[in-house]
Amino acid sequence: MKKNNKISAFEEKEGIHLTDVSNEASIAKIKNFRKRQPSVASLIQGIRDGDKTALSRAITLVESKNKTHLVQANQIIEACIADKKNTLRIGITGVPGVGKSTFIEVLGKYLTNQGKKVAVLAVDPTSSLSKGSILGDKTRMEVLVRDENAFIRPSPSEDSLGGVARKTRESIILCEAAHFDVILIETVGVGQSETAVHGMVDFFLLLKLAGAGDELQGIKRGIMEMTDTIVINKADGKNKQAANLAKIEFTRALHFYPPKENGWVPKVLQCSALENEGISEVWQTILNFKDATADAIYDKRKYQNKFWLLQTIEDNLKMQFYEDTAIQQQLEQLTTLVMNAKVSPFVAAEQLLALHQKKLK
């Protein structure tokens, strides 16, 4: 057909040709694929055998929005949750460009070389696979991704932080049941995601670059209190001097934050992930933390479990309220009145709660 050749809508069209796909071989292939959809029991067994394909499939069920998948996912989680866990859950945060991927890859390789099994997960509520999540771009961890003892999984493509957090926490349980010793959880630090990651790890690591001037400028509120260790990355070549100054500055800064309940004094380290320098010191610090806080880690996990129970309840109660269409109409209007001091926030709240109550009944 020539370019710009117009065809009338009344013109007779060709029929649709059947393609050759409905042959015996194709049918057998599809049937075979269907048969291979594994049962819950076989997935659980696969996870316990350390089979990465089974682990991957189970996480896919956890991440699915399909109700049947969710029932299956819950069955798998329930089976795996009580498995013994002498593991380390490490949260890693830092702004884009700080070198998180390289750092995680080098730390991961360092650990697999010691015979450890390492899982890498991510919490990044704004990204999906295609939207430039660091872990989504798997090619950036080319070496680790081919490592038999490593398992890398990008952030679930879910809009809400609550959803991503839940799926990541359940993935941790599955990875641990599959005998992964160290779980590295990355976050790019969008919104409240550091708090979510802090609420699911034993150790929280902040990756920084040596800056020029006030080192605290780029740090969000609350991060310094959460951090167990600051690692200044790219401390190599001409950055070395700035990294030394940054180390002094951060060490001083940490001194001005209230002490941690578990007695741990946060450390400041330097490394060059690119040059593979300082990684063993980072790992040694994490081991020192584990030794120093010993039982505190398991207590912390207990309280993290409780936190997620209550957090999930409260998030859902709020969601039910704010997704109530009757509420939405009134809320916007009342918020404006409340903000401009025309209506008391407490009176407005009472009105909205009464409306929601009526709807539920």
Binding site for its own copies (CB under 8 A): 74, 77-78, 81-82, 85, 166, 169-170, 173, 216-217, 219-221, 224-225, 252-253, 255-259, 301-303, 305-306, 308-309, 312-314, 316-318, 321, 334-335, 338-350, 352-353, 357, 360-361
Q: Minimum Å distance from CB 345 to its own copies?
A: 4
Q: Which is nearer to its own copies, 30 or 322 (CB)?
A: 322
Q: Minimum Å distance from CB 311 to its own copies?
A: 8
Q: Which is nearer to its own copies, 152 or 334 (CB)?
A: 334
Q: Which is nearer to its own copies, 10 or 346 (CB)?
A: 346
- The CB-based long-range contact list for 276-283 (8 Å cut-off, 24+ gap) reads 276/106, 277/235, 277/236, 278/231, 278/235, 279/106, 279/107, 279/110, 280/110, 282/107, 282/205, 282/229, 282/231, 283/107, 283/110, 283/111
Q: Which is nearer to its own copies, 123 or 219 (CB)?
A: 219
Q: Minimum Å distance from CB 227 to its own copies?
A: 13
Q: Minimum Å distance from CB 236 to its own copies?
A: 26
Contact 176, 90 (CB under 8 A): no
- Amino acid, res. 202: D
Q: Which is nearer to its own copies, 105 or 170 (CB)?
A: 170
Q: Which is nearer to its own copies, 212 or 341 (CB)?
A: 341
The sign of the torsion formed by the CA atoms of 235, 240, 242, 247 equals positive
Q: Which is nearer to its own copies, 23 or 333 (CB)?
A: 333
